[in-house]
Amino acid sequence: MAKPKIAITIGDPAGIGPEIVYKAVNSLTVQRVCSPVVIGDKKVIEKYFDIDKFTRSKKAEFVFSSCYNKKFSLGKPSKISGLIACDAIRKAVDMCLKKEVKAMVTAPVSKESFKYAGLKFSGHTEFLADLTKTKKYCMMMVCGDINSVMVTRHLPITQISKNLKTQDIVTTTQIAADFIKTNIKRNPKIVIASLNPHAGDNGILGTEEKDVIIPAIKKLKNKKYNIVGLYPVDVAWAKYLKNKYDLIVAMYHDQVMLSLKILNSQKIVNVTAGLPFIRTSPGHGTAFDIAGKNIANALPMIEAIKFSCRKF
C-alpha cells in the first residue's frame, strides 16, 4: 500500500524549523510512515537539503512556496521570515484542500514575525481556521496516550476570566471529543478541569465555576457526552493519569502545557481539531536561541509527522 503524502512546512526560517524538518524527513521513522512533501522558500530549502539527492532517492518531494532574495538573521523575528512562513502555510493548506496531500505538519512559527509580516493572527491555529473558513475549531495537545484541550489559548492571565464563556467550553469540548471519536477512540471519557484553585471553593475563590463552567458541563451531559468532573485542575490531571481517561479539558494554556512538558516534552503534538484535514505541529516554539547551531531535537517533529499519518 502506498504511503500517504504529508505536507511539511519549514516554519519560521530564522528559528529551528528548517533544521528539524531536515532531521525528521531524513529519519527512518518518518520514511517508514509517509512520503514527505517539504514546502517552503526555495533559498531556505536549498540551504538545508540536497534536493537532487532527496528527490532521486524518493526520500522527499519539494514544493517552493516562495523565493525571496532578501536576507534575514538567524535567531531574530523579522518581516521576511514571517512572510516565508506564511507563504508555506498557504501552499500547504491549498494542497490539503485539493487533496494533493493527506495532511499537513507545520514547523514552529513566530508570533512576532507574523506581526511584522502584517498577519493579524496570533499563530497557526487562527490562521489555518481563516484560510479554511473554519468557524469551530480548537487546539488539542496530544502527548502519547494523553489527549488534552484548552478552552482559551494565547491570552494574558488577566484576560482569561472575562473571555471564558459557557458556549466556548461546550464547543471546544465537542470538537475535541468528536475528533477523538473519529480518529482515536469511540465514546471518549472526558474530565473537565476548573479555572480557580479548589474549583472555586463554592465561590470563595472565584465564581467562574458556578457561573460559567458547571452550566457548560450540564449542556454537554444533555448532549450525551461522557463527562467526569468538575475537578480542580491538579485533581483532574491526577484522575486522568490514574483512570486512563481519554480527554482532559482545561480552561487556559498553561493548565495544559505545564503538565505535558513535565510528563514528556518530546512527545507533545499540537493538533488543530475541526479543520477539514488533519494538521499537526511539534509542541514547542521557534527556539531562536539555538537556531543555526545544529543541536535542535527533531523528536517532537517526528512525533507530529507520525500522528498525522495515523489514520492512513
Q: What is the pLDDT of residues 125-179, one digit of tens each?
A: 899 999 999 999 999 999 999 999 999 988 999 999 999 999 999 999 999 999 9
Give CA–CA dist 35/103, Å, rounded: 11
At position 264, the amino acid (one-letter code) is N
Shared-domain flag, residues 213 and 269: yes
Predicted confidence at residue 301, as pLDDT, reads 98
Shared-domain flag, residues 221 and 283: no
E-strand ranges in the chain read 5-9, 35-41, 61-66, 103-106, 138-143, 146-150, 189-193, 226-231, 247-250, 268-273, 278-282
What is the sign, positive or negative, of the torsion defined by CA atoms of 14, 297, 278, 145?
Answer: negative
Cell 469551530 belongs to which residue? Answer: 136
Cell 457548560 belongs to which residue? Answer: 216
CATH code of 204's domain: 3.40.718.10
Shared-domain flag, residues 117 and 46: yes
Predicted confidence at residue 292, as pLDDT, reads 95
Predicted confidence at residue 311, as pLDDT, reads 83
Shared-domain flag, residues 260 and 281: no
Give CA–CA dist 68/65, Å, rounded: 10
Shared-domain flag, residues 255 and 293: no
Give the CA distances from residue 72 to residues 67, 76, 203, in Å, rounded to whole numbers and listed in that order: 13, 8, 52
- Residue 206: strand, helix, or coil: strand
Q: What is the pLDDT of residues 285-312, one digit of tens each?
A: 999 999 999 999 999 999 999 999 988 8
Grid coordinates of 293? 547551531
Shared-domain flag, residues 256 and 301: no
Shared-domain flag, residues 230 and 247: yes
Give the CA distances from residue 228 to residues 92, 117, 213, 216, 262, in Å, rounded to whole numbers and listed in that order: 38, 43, 13, 12, 24
Shared-domain flag, residues 98 and 165: no
Residue 130: its H or E element: helix 124-131
Q: What is the dihedral of CA 133, 141, 6, 288, to 10 degrees?
A: 100
Shared-domain flag, residues 282 and 248: no
Predicted confidence at residue 93, as pLDDT, reads 98
Shared-domain flag, residues 202 and 169: yes
Q: What is the DSSP string of 235-292?
A: HHHHHHHHHT-SEEEESSHHHHHHHHHHHHGGGEEEEEETSSSEEEEESS---GGGTT
Predicted confidence at residue 233, as pLDDT, reads 97
Counting as low any pLDDT under 50, the low residues of the chain are: none
- Residue 56: strand, helix, or coil: helix
Shared-domain flag, residues 19 and 78: yes
Provide the residue range defining the domain that includes 142: 138-274
Predicted confidence at residue 197, as pLDDT, reads 96
Give CA–CA dist 202/71, Å, rounded: 57
Predicted confidence at residue 2, as pLDDT, reads 85
Cell 516534552 belongs to which residue? Answer: 265
pTM: 0.92
Cell 514575525 belongs to which residue? Answer: 113
Predicted confidence at residue 312, as pLDDT, reads 82
Shared-domain flag, residues 257 and 287: no
Count of domains observed in the chain: 2
